Every structure is written in structure tokens, then in C-alpha cells.
């Protein structure tokens, strides 16, 4: 039997405290016969990374990460390029990565995959040495995350209440970015409210949920907006809904091997899988092919 480790983020998701405790207790019982006590941790978000590193350094052959995309991204960054496989427990709000690799949202069904595991390799995105499972974004979204975190961390607001207020604040003063981007031997200067880099290509329609049909394409997906006024952003949102990304006038998308982004400032805030980090310019994006081992149905 393989040596297994597991870390669960006790704060993930939008369940009530009582519902979260019930869910975590159930997962603990399901893992009791599979994971030694010293290699199982259920901790708040701020302790997740350190506990993951501790347990992975214990030499586990299979690692279970339970939480939202930020938690799974932290696990992926520690496991990238190793032989240790990752089983995802989708305990967050959106669980985009779990959905894209086909892992059931029900933790009991996900854990049952260990009975007959299907091992698969998937790509990871990389920006300046930081891995991402889903995407990295500049502009509006990092600002929204920053305003949301101020309200949740400092004032104790619920995540949804904080998101709504943060969105209103950001839309009132759009954080346009002056960027120089380089790809395929070309250089472009632009003013944009957001620049989105995906780990592989995202679907074109809102009906498909902007998911990815493949995580083995070996390329990054660039999507950026040329909207320069607030009304234009509303028009962009309407066109995406009715016509899809590819047919939206103010959006440009490309599949690339590499991308360099040069902001005007030496340091720039980037939302990596929904978590803000401060990175130095220039930003160099690329794909790390087949660098993460995952367990899927």
C-alpha cells in the first residue's frame, strides 16, 4: 500500500461552520484506514502550505489535497515535476480544476477513486517560477481580490458579501494597465482593464462554463480586452454571453508557447488561481508540460 498524506483546508467553501465540521469529520473517518495520523492535517488556510510541505517532505507517494482552487494550486506547486500523485477533494466554492480533470465533487466518491486509481499527467502554467493550475490574471481581478480580502480578513465579512462590494468598488474605478506584451516575435503596447493567461485553452461559450477540454495541450491561452470605457466593458460582458469569446469585438485570444508581459511598474499584483501575489517585471509565462500527476476517474 502506498504511503499517503492529506491536508484539508478547514475554511474552504461556503457551508455553515456546523456543515463544514460535519463534512471534515466524515472525510477524516474515510481516510482513517488509509492515512497515518502524522500525515493527516486539517488546518486553516494560512497554515495549509506549511503543512503540505511538511507532509510531502515525509516522503509520501500519494497526496490528497482538500479545498478550493487556491489550496489545490498550493499542492500542485509543491508536487510539480515529482513522482507523487495528487488526489483532489473539491471542497471550495467553484472547484474549477477538479471539474476540468473530472474528479467528482462528492468527497466520498473522490476518495473511492483510490480503490482503482487512474493516473494521469497534466500541464501546469508557470509565471516567473510560480505554478498555476487554472490561470493568472492582471488588472481588474487582482484588484477585486484585494478589496475582497480587506473585507473578509479585516472586517470579518462573508465571502459573497465581500465579493459584491469589491466588484462595485472596482467597477467604479477600472484599474487599466499599460502593458507591453511580446509573443511569437511580435511586440505590442496596450492599455487594458485585464489580461488573462490560462493553463491551456478555455472554452468559447458561457454555456460550457469556460472550462477546458484538455490539460495536455502544452500551450498557454491569452485573453485580453481592448475596452477603454466602462460602457464598453458592459458591452463586452453582453457579447461574451450572447456570442462567445471568439466573436466578442473587444477581446483578443491566442494560443501561445510563451508570453512576456512588461508592466510599467517594477512590481505588479497578479492573481494566480484566485490568490494575489506580487511579482517582479517582466512576467514570463509558459507551460510546464505533463508536470503534475493526478488521479482521475
C-beta neighbour count of 116 within 10 angstroms: 8
Q: Which pLDDT score, from 0 to 100, does residue 278 have? A: 93
* β pairing state of 4-9 and 62-67: parallel
CATH number at residue 226: 2.60.200.40
Indicate whether 62 and 191 sit together in one domain. no
**Of 116, 149, 177, at which residue does a domain stop?**
116
Backbone angles phi, psi at 204, to 5 degrees: -90, -10
C-alpha cell at 36: 497515518
Mean pLDDT taken over the chain: 84
Residues 283 and 174 in one domain: yes
For residue 202, the 8-state DSSP code is P
Clarify whether residues 163 and 38 are in a common domain: no
Per the domain annotation, does 247 fall within a domain? yes
Q: Is 123 within the bounds of a domain?
A: no
Using the predicted structure, report yes or no on whether residue 160 has a pLDDT greater than 50.
Answer: no
Cell numbers found for residue 169: 468598488
Q: Domain check: are 188 and 147 in the same one?
A: yes
Q: Look at residue 297 and tell me if it is in a domain.
A: no
140 & 242 share domain:
yes
The reply to whether 155 and 270 lie within a common domain is yes
pLDDT tops 60 at residue 172? no
Q: pTM to 2 decimals?
A: 0.84
CATH number at residue 26: 3.40.50.10330
Total domain count, the chain:
2
Rounded to whole angstroms, how far apart are CA atoms 109 and 90? 11
Residue 139 and residue 75 share a domain: no
Per-residue confidence at 22, pLDDT binned at 50, 70, 90? very high
Tell me whether residue 125 is in a domain. no
Domain shared by 106 and 147, yes or no: no
Please tell me whether residues 60 and 20 are part of one structural domain.
yes
Instruction: Indicate whether 122 belongs to any domain.
Output: no
Query: Is 265 a domain residue?
Result: yes
How far is CA 48 from each of CA 79, 159, 225, 233, rounded to the nearest angstrom? Answer: 14, 19, 34, 36
Cis peptide before 282 (omega within 30 of 0): yes
Mean pLDDT calculated for residue range 47-63: 97
Domain coverage including residue 11: 4-116
Examine the domain organization and report whether 27 and 90 are in the same domain. Answer: yes
> pLDDT (tens digit, 9 = 90+) per residue, 219-278?
999 988 776 555 555 555 555 565 566 656 667 889 999 999 999 999 998 989 988 899
pLDDT of residue 148 exceeding 70: no
In a domain, 121, yes or no: no
pLDDT value for 13 = 86
- Report the pLDDT averaged over residues 89-97: 92
Q: Give me the pLDDT at residue 213, please.
A: 85
Query: Could you tell me the three cell numbers for 268?
Result: 505588479
Q: Does residue 106 share a domain with residue 141?
A: no
Residue 146 sits in the same domain as residue 57: no
User: Domain ends where: 82, 116, 150?
Assistant: 116
Question: Residue 39 above 90 pLDDT?
Answer: yes
Q: Is 182 domain-assigned?
A: yes
Mean pLDDT of 10-22: 90
Amino acid at each position: 500500500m502506498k504511503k499517503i498524506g492529506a491536508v484539508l483546508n478547514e475554511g474552504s467553501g461556503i457551508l455553515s461552520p456546523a456543515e463544514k465540521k460535519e463534512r471534515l469529520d466524515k472525510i477524516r473517518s474515510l481516510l482513517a484506514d488509509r492515512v497515518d495520523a502524522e500525515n493527516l492535517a486539517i488546518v486553516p488556510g494560512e497554515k495549509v502550505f506549511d503543512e503540505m510541505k511538511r507532509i510531502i517532505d515525509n516522503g509520501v507517494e500519494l497526496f490528497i489535497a482538500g479545498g478550493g482552487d487556491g489550496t489545490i494550486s498550493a499542492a500542485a506547486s509543491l508536487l510539480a515535476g515529482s513522482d507523487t500523485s495528487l488526489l483532489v477533494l473539491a471542497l471550495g466554492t467553484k472547484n474549477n480544476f477538479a471539474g476540468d480533470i473530472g474528479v467528482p465533487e462528492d468527497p466520498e466518491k473522490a476518495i473511492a477513486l483510490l480503490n482503482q486509481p487512474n493516473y494521469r499527467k497534466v500541464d501546469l502554467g508557470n509565471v516567473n517560477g510560480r505554478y498555476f493550475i487554472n490561470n493568472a490574471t492582471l488588472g481588474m481581478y487582482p484588484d477585486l481580490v484585494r478589496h475582497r480580502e480587506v473585507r473578509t480578513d479585516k472586517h470579518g465579512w462573508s465571502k459573497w458579501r465581500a465579493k459584491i462590494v469589491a466588484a462595485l468598488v472596482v467597477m467604479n474605478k477600472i484599474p487599466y494597465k499599460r502593458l507591453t506584451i511580446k509573443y511569437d516575435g511580435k511586440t505590442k503596447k496596450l492599455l487594458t482593464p485585464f489580461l488573462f493567461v490560462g493553463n491551456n485553452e478555455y472554452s468559447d461559450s458561457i454555456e460550457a462554463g469556460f472550462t477546458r477540454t484538455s490539460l495536455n495541450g502544452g500551450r498557454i491561452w491569452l485573453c485580453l480586452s481592448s475596452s477603454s470605457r466602462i460602457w464598453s466593458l458592459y458591452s463586452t460582458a453582453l457579447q461574451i454571453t450572447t456570442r462567445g469569446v471568439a466573436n466578442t469585438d473587444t477581446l483578443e485570444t491566442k494560443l501561445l508557447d510563451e508570453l512576456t508581459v512588461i508592466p510599467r511598474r517594477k512590481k505588479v499584483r497578479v492573481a494566480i488561481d484566485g490568490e494575489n501575489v506580487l511579482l517582479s517585471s517582466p512576467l514570463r509565462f509558459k507551460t510546464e508540460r505533463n508536470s503534475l500527476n493526478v488521479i482521475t476517474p
